[in-house]
Structure 1
Amino acid sequence: MGLRGRARAKGDGPMRVVIAPDSFKGTASARDAAAALADGWRAVAPDVDVDVRAMADGGEGTLDALGAAPGAAQHAARVSGPDSRAVDAAWVMLVGPGGPTAVIELAQSSAITSLDAPTPMDAHTLGLGETIAAALDAGARRLLVAVGGSASTDGGSGALRALGARFVDAAGAEVALGARGLESLDRVTLDGLVALPPGGVAVLTDVANPLAGPCGAAVTYGPQKGASADQIARMDAALAGLARLVSAQWPERAVDPDAPGMGAAGGTAYGLAVWGAQLTPGAAAVADAVGLDAALARADLIVTGEGRFDGQSWHGKVVSEVSRRAAAAGVPVALVAGSIDAPVGAFAAAVSLTDLAGSSRAARTDALAWLRGAGRLLARMRWSMAPVSGSP
């Protein structure tokens, strides 16, 4: 079997290849990885029609991937960072049949990487809400919100505050931002929330954690945010208390805090769900946004990839979403990964950058060069399957 893909009618024109990888974490963004694979393929087979569609799973890197979509317009807003210092948060406006869609990435405004030191009790998502407000003011009729990389565990209360909600203590004063403020929360006021855009809000996430409890946001992700055991217990109690107050005081807006995904980004997914957002698998939403199905309808082969292909790659990740859609369209899939640690029998071909480079260190040191090499190798394999080894 070779990489011919589907049977093609005479006169169909050049072979059509779609390049749709995720980022190679720590070494190459999805956009750069896709461009390198495409450059390598074109160097060997300039006659091939190569269609680049950078992908993401809804976490960090989503904005970069969708920023490469046709017609994407770049924007930025000056907003509050997770420690209230001002930051410039980039966001993207896409043009589609339903009107302008804004793509917002929490990590642009509220990332843990923006902190000089972790502040787990005080970090907040106010800046995310301010970015959302800026996108709405700019005319967005739909929002895609990627929520990976957060610094906070505030249940999305900061974002809701920027959108018109109020969180007050027993004396009627606004509580502090962050989980610390939620500890003194007595009343939630949601009637001032801005209306959802006509096309709705999709929260992109690939985690299944509930808001609180042993598998909740604080217990699962608190240690990564620098929280002590005592702080984790306090944050968990604060998130549970927030959900109880919303359910008791605003039953018409109540959502199930135990539903899968509500704990994403320190409970930000829960807060946005209270606003009216829908949680959706990130890779599927990105695939829709970049027009992957339309690209597959014209494709003979699709190339996807990620930094490490292993057993988790089939659970809500880019490789699994691309493979699922390609199977439905009858298009074979080639895989490129930094390392391959799971069976690859489902793919028409599979290339490991580690194998090409001779070591993981070498592959990571110059990932783009080896991605170009992988593209060249796949292009040479397009008419007859060859072993995936040796120098490109």
Structure 2
Amino acid sequence: MKIVIAPDSFKESLSAKAVCECIERGFKVVFPDAEYHHLPLADGGEGTVEALTQGRKARLMRTEVSDPIGKKVWANWALLDNDKTALIEIAAASGLALLAPEDRNPNITSSYGTGELIRTALDQGVTKILLGLGGSATNDAGAGIVQALGGKLLSHTGTELQVGASALTHLAKIDLSQQHPRCSEVEFIVACDVSNPLTGQRGASHVFGRQKGASSEMINALDAAIHHFAQLSIPILGTDHRHTPGFGAAGGTPLGLSLLFDITIKPGIDMILDELNADHIMQDASLMITGEGRMDTQTLQGKTPFGVALRANQKGIPVIAIAGSLGKELDPLYTHFNGLFASVRAPQSLDSALSEAEVNITSSARNVAAMLKLGAVINK
């Protein structure tokens, strides 16, 4: 029996790799002779570098860059495929987790540091860049990336704009004549787990601005600023991206990227599964096991377990999920999952649940395996 274990991390408690180990440990008590394959995953946000470097020849890199408010930080990224592919998370240089709550201000936060990482990768000679967009602190529509890679955002007086979204209200001209010369030479894949457009009520500012520190008064101004940036981008791109699905991710970062690169946007989990050759790993599998910290209807919005379930469904492989906790209204999930299990054993505080995650997941996996074995006996 071949069992593929393919979870996301359980945020604030266990990495995806650790979750794999817990599930195997629990299952092995019941099925000691099964063939286990670990496929620790992420959906394009935090943990993407770790997931894609597991079991692969990768060179982990560390570069000093600007954080979202311009302070110097060390950001981790990776080189794969004999240094021809760069793997970058926007969260590493431009992430919300880098800022204290009082420093979160999307008027001034910038994606410039992510641009510095991309510039470093281009200087290394890569021919492919994979960029995960989860966890950003910015709402500048990728303007900082443009500036870091040599593009000039100019005011009516011809002066270069400061970084940050609010500065875009003064934008009069986009000058890409001095952009990095290798921008046109690389394949650029953007991992994105949202379908929101760039602007409007479902856009970057209105949907995600508040979690990045925007007040109600700021949100309309932020939306207007990136709306203006998008309008001035139309003559360069030949396309109006204000309503393009996915362009609202990471504060509108795909807009700035599209000015420099021929980008392909993929759901984060699909990019991860493709890069890890998951379809090959899943061949002849008897069972897929996935999971994340909490599963509810939001799981169906491009989260890791849903991506795994879709692949399993296409191949006719049963798939079950073990989560830290389960939300309400789970019926839509049962269309894709053969079973859903919560690992928390009893009512307890969040701190207790997080600290006991390893024990709880191992125990839950053992119980699931026992029920599967019992079902096989009953059906003989």
Give the TM-score normalised by the residue count of structure 2: 0.89
Match for residue 70 of structure 1? 56
Change over 3 Å in CA distance of 1:197–1:290 after alignment to 2: farther
Distance 1:112 1:302 in 2: 33
Assess, with a 3 A threshold, how the Cα gap between structure 1 residues 203 and 42 changes in structure 2: closer, same or farther: same
Stretches of structure 1 lacking an aligned partner (at least 5 in a row)? 1-14, 387-392
1:228 shift after superposition: 2.1
Aligned amino acid, residue 192 of structure 1: Q
Aligned to 2:96: 112
Report Cα offsets for 1:79-116 as digits up to 9, x if no partner: 111111111111122328xx832221001001122123
Equivalent pairs, count: 367
1:5 is aligned to none
320 and 360 in structure 1: CA distance in 2 versus 1, 3 angstrom threshold: farther
Residue 122 of structure 1 contacts residue 179 of structure 1 at CA under 8 Å; is this kept in 2?
yes
Separation in structure 2 between the aligned mates of residue 70 and residue 197 of structure 1, nearest angstrom: 27
CA contact (8 A) 1:255 1:274 kept: no
1:204 pairs, out of 191, 195, 202, with: 191
Q: CA deviation at 1:43?
A: 5.0
Relative distance call for 1:298 and 1:75 in structure 2 (3 A) is farther
Following the alignment from structure 2 to structure 1, what is the Cα–Cα distance between the partners of residues 306 and 130? 21
SS of the equivalent of 2:166 reads helix
Q: Does structure 2 conserve the Cα–Cα contact (< 8 Å) formed by 1:357 and 1:363? A: no
The farther-off stretch of 145-154 and 343-352 is 343-352
| Pairing partner for 1:215 from 202, 206, 209 | 202
Alpha carbons 1:273, 1:279 under 8 Å: kept: no
CA distance in 1, matches of 2:342, 2:237: 52
Show the counterpart of 1:230. 217
1:278 to 255, 260, 264: 264
Q: CA contact under 8 A between 1:126 and 1:162: conserved in structure 2?
A: yes
2: distance between equivalents of 1:284 and 1:277?
A: 16
CA spacing shift, 1:382–1:197, aligned 2, 3 Å: farther
Q: After superposition, give the CA deviation of every residue in 1:334-358 in whole Å (9 maximum; x if it has no partner).
A: 210112231464544432112x355
Alignment check: 8 A CA contact 1:69 1:290 kept: no
Q: Please name the residue that 2:247 is paired with.
A: 262
Q: Distance in 2 between matches of 1:54 and 1:197?
A: 33
Partner residue in 1 for 2:160: 174
Deviation of 1:382 after TM superposition, in Å, equals 4.5
Q: Structure 1: how far apart are the matches of 2:32 and 2:110?
A: 49
The one-letter amino acid of 2:175's match is T
> In 1, Cα distance between the equivalents of 2:213 and 2:52?
31
The percent identity for this pair of structures is: 35
Counterpart of 1:247, as a letter, is I
Does 1:246 find its partner at 2:233?
yes
**Aligned position for 2:133:** 147
2: distance between equivalents of 1:213 and 1:349? 38
**Structure 1 residue 384 and structure 2 residue 358: aligned?**
no
Give me the whole-angstrom Cα distance separating, in 1, the residues matched to 2:84 and 2:25.
31
Structure 2's unaligned 5+ residue stretches are: none
CA distance in 2, matches of 1:347, 1:234: 42
Question: Hey, which of these two has a bigger chunk of helix by percent?
Answer: 2
Maintained 8 Å contact 1:27/1:364 = yes
Larger mean Cα displacement after TM superposition, 367-376 or 76-85: 367-376
Matched ranges for 1:45-124 at <5 A: 45-95=31-81, 100-116=84-100, 117-124=103-110
**Residue among 350, 354, 361 paired with 1:371:** 361
> Partner of 1:102: helix, strand, or coil?
strand
Q: Does 1:310 align with 2:296?
A: yes
Taking the aligned partners of 2:124 and 2:20, their CA distance within structure 1 comes to 30
Tell me the TM-score normalized by structure 1. 0.87
Q: Helix, strand or coil for the counterpart of 1:40?
A: helix
